[in-house]
Each structure stands twice: as structure tokens, then as C-alpha cells.
Structure 1
Amino acid sequence: MPRPDTEIDESPSGDAGPAFDHGAVSRFNAWFFTAFAGYLNHVARDHKQQAFSGLQPGASVLEIGAGTGANLHHLPTGVHLYAVEPSLRMHDRLRRRCAAAGIEVTVLPVGAEAIPLPDASIDEVICSLVLCTAGDPDAVLAEVRRVLRPGGRFRFVEHVAAPRPGVRARVQRAIRRPWGWIFEGCDPHRATPDTVERAGFSEVRVERRRLRHSVFWPVNTAAWGIAVR
């Protein structure tokens, strides 16, 4: 499938959006999401299998918040990965893991609110445990719709706000500030499925299901879904 016909700036000094390095906090997150990638994939395994099955060999795939490459094993052969990842601390690990997996990657050191790709240029967009950190999730989803080709799919797995009233929902709201500081903006009580459903996709399927055997009790209320451009 054709790739986006555009020149892409992979340097942090590009004009497309806010790359960042929060020092010790960014180093911690790069270490954490590398060290716990296997565990996080295990607890979200069922969600990811449902959301990411059906990706086609040779597709152009944009991943929002690619991190250090936790989802690479879900990608079929021959894809070109466009990896939106504003945290500079993640890039070296991501590139090494893509090289080891034989996946061609273009790293975009930007926020997902302004993706430097042309309209209708991408076959599939994926993300997992990422929209919780977006400063403006409505803007992110508008960009996802813009870059997807007609009929293209947005596939996502996210931890989401627990039902209210309830103990878990109260805990999520209580820990918002420290949790967000530790995990670089993550909101443990975000109603992501509602945001996707109002984003203007032609079709949206969402299933809410708790993460299996997760020790991260405050954020094991989760959802997976597929939205069609």
C-alpha cells in the first residue's frame, strides 16, 4: 500500500509539535515501559488481540504514543510504521526494537495534536494506554480522522474512567495529580470511549472490559475499540 507522499522531519527541532524530555521523570517512564512491557502486554492481551487483529501486511500504520515498541509484535510483515512519540527518551529503544523486528519505522517526535502527515494518507492508526495522556484528546482524534484514508480504522486499547458511583472511581479522581505527574500527564479517570464516539467516525465499536490480573488496581477498568473513518 502506498506511503504518505511527503517529506517528514524526524528531528526534535521540527515544527510539527512538542517533543519533550522531563529529565528524571522521562527517564523513569522510558525504563518503566521497557521493563514492564511484557507484563503490560500480558494484562492487556485480550484487549489488544481484539483491537489489533486484522491489520494487513504492507499497510501504512500510524501508532500514537509508540513508546519503546510494546506493540511491535502485533504488526504484520511489510508494514511501515509511523511512530508518534513526543518523549525523546523513548526513541533509541524504539528504533532498536524496530530494527530487531525488521520493521521500517519513521519516528515523529511530536504530539498527536498536530501530526505531520498528509490528509487521507494512512491505512491504520493504533494506540494503547495513550489517550489518557493527551492534553486535548478531541484534537488528537480529529488528527486521526484527518490522516486516515476513507475506510481506514482507528484501533485502540485504553484504561478508562471507572463507573460512578464507586470506590475505584473515587480513587481515580483522588490520585489524578500525583498519577499525572509520575506518568507524564496520564489521567486515570478519563472517559475515552465517549470521546471516540463523538469524534465523527462513520462507525464505532467499543467494548469495556477490565484488564486481566492487573496489579494496577486504580486503572484496570479498560476498553478496546475500532472506529472507521
Structure 2
Amino acid sequence: MTTAEVHHPLFARCYARLSRVVEDRGLAAHRRALLAGLSGRVIEVGAGNGLNFAHYPPAVTGVLAVEPEPRLRRLARAAAAVAPVPVEVTDGLAEHLPAADGAFDAAVAALVLCSLPDPHAGLAEMRRVLASGGRLRFLEHVRAGSAGMARVQRLLDATVWPRLAGGCHTGRDAAGLIEQAGFTITELERFVFPRVRTPMSFFVRGSARPATLTCSPES
């Protein structure tokens, strides 16, 4: 798939509107927690409309934000212009990140693993561009813990949902995918958002390091 093929205008328009509502209802706080403590150079994969940008801490010296969908990329560039840290928004795919090996101190994946055509390849690329001692921060909606809701997710993912929602899958196991890609998860929080449960309400937020490194939990 080339970036020219990542074009979901209807989904992008709907996402841009709905995401603002979700932010105001509490997801912004989870974004702040996701990015807290980061420093140095950061690559954000699947930046969407740039809702993370406002929450990067001052110790971040620069963000390379990769977003392949044209409408969302335009919105991200507008958000970058008022971000508290330098943000460069660029076209690109998670599976072929436009960056050198070991170029970044951190990688951020927020609501992106659900929609990657090949999440294994995308995570391998995130690992490739991390410097020694780098970390992956992630915030993803995931597979439900209850058997009944997980069945609903499997039905949606096998039928209409990916076509309606820009390739999104409601029930991927993000933590499992991250570990399979050679990361060790050092922090993991599971939560339901919003409290009224839907197939999109089950989340994880956490931090991981490449498994080849000696890992210790972050303070």
C-alpha cells in the first residue's frame, strides 16, 4: 500500500468531528498521561488530526508526526502550528517510516494499531527507529474482556466496521501485538472509556522498551 491509497475522506471528516467530543469527555487526560515524562526526539505514528500535540512536555525537543490520510494530515499541520514543542507533520506509512535507524528517543502510537494493515510491520518499524534505551508509548482501544462483547467485536471486524472506519478493528490485542514485536511492556493500565460500554470502550495505555534491553519499570 502506498500513501496515495490511504484516503478515507468520509471517515476522516467524521473522525475529526467526533474526536473533539471524545477529548472533551475525558480522553485528553489519557493523552496527557500517555506523553508525560517524555524528552528528546519523538516520532508519532499515525498522528491523525494532531490531538496529542498540545500535550507534549517541554523536554521534548521535536516531534516527527507521520500521518498518511490527507485530510487528517492537513488538520495535524494546523495543530502543529500552535503546539508547545516543535512538530513536523509528514506523509508516510507506519510500515515504512521515513526515518533512520535509532533516530528517536521515543515512539508514540495512539489509536493507530487498530487500523494498520500490518501491525507487526508497523511495530517492527517503530522498534527500528528507536535509539538505544528508547521507549514506546501506546494508547489503544482493544479486545473486550467479556466473551459476549468480544464476539460482537469479532463480528464487526469481520464485516462492516473496517470498511466504515478507515480500516479500524475494534478487537485487536494491542498489548499482545507489542510483545510479539519484540518489546517488553514495563507499564500497562486497562480502562473502560466511556463508562457506557460499546465495542470501542476497552482501552490500554502503557509503555514498552525493546526486549533486548535490560528493562526496569519507569518511575
What is the TM-score with the length of structure 1 in the denominator?
Answer: 0.81
- 3-state DSSP class of the match of 1:111? coil
Change (3 A) 1:43 1:169: farther
Residue 210 of structure 1 deviates from its aligned partner by 1.1
Of 11, 30, 36 in structure 2, the residue corresponding to residue 29 of structure 1 is 11
1:20 counterpart residue number: 4
Q: Which runs of 5+ in 1 are unaligned?
A: 1-16
Residue 28 of structure 1 deviates from its aligned partner by 2.2
Change (3 A) 1:82 1:174: same
- 3-state DSSP class of the match of 2:3? coil
Distance in 2 between the 1:171 and 1:38 partners?
A: 26
Count of residues in correspondence between the two structures: 207
Residue 164 of structure 1 deviates from its aligned partner by 4.9
Of 42, 50, 59 in structure 1, the residue corresponding to residue 33 of structure 2 is 50
Change (3 A) 1:175 1:43: farther
Is the 2:36–2:56 Cα contact (8 Å) retained in structure 1? no
Distance in 1 between the 2:112 and 2:142 partners?
A: 11
Task: Say whether 1:169 aligns with 2:155.
Answer: no
Residue 109 of structure 1 deviates from its aligned partner by 1.4
Q: What is the identity, as a one-letter code, of the residue corresponding to 2:203?
A: A
1:221 counterpart residue number: 202
Is the 1:47–1:223 Cα contact (8 Å) retained in structure 2? no
Q: Which runs of 5+ in 2 are unaligned?
A: 211-219
Of 121, 124, 129 in structure 2, the residue corresponding to residue 147 of structure 1 is 129
Residue 224 of structure 1 deviates from its aligned partner by 0.8
Distance in 2 between the 1:182 and 1:67 partners?
A: 17
Residue 138 of structure 1 deviates from its aligned partner by 1.1
Distance in 2 between the 1:201 and 1:172 partners?
A: 26
Distance in 1 between the 2:150 and 2:120 partners?
A: 22
2:48 counterpart residue number: 67
1:112 counterpart residue number: 94
Distance in 1 between the 2:180 and 2:47 partners?
A: 24
Of 177, 181, 192 in structure 1, the residue corresponding to residue 163 of structure 2 is 181
Of 139, 143, 147 in structure 2, the residue corresponding to residue 157 of structure 1 is 139
- 3-state DSSP class of the match of 1:91? helix
Is the 1:21–1:88 Cα contact (8 Å) retained in structure 2? no
1:111-145 deviation digits (Å, cap 9, x = unpaired)? 10111211111011112111000111111111111
1:154-210 deviation digits (Å, cap 9, x = unpaired)? 1010000112522x1111111113110111110111111111122222553222211
Task: Say whether 1:38 aligns with 2:38.
Answer: no
Is the 1:123–1:148 Cα contact (8 Å) retained in structure 2? yes
Residue 36 of structure 1 deviates from its aligned partner by 2.4
Distance in 2 between the 1:165 and 1:45 partners?
A: 29
- 3-state DSSP class of the match of 1:62? strand
- Identify which of structures 1 and 2 has the higher relative contact order when contacts are C-alpha pairs closer than 8 Å and 6+ apart: 1
CA RMSD of aligned residues (A): 2.1
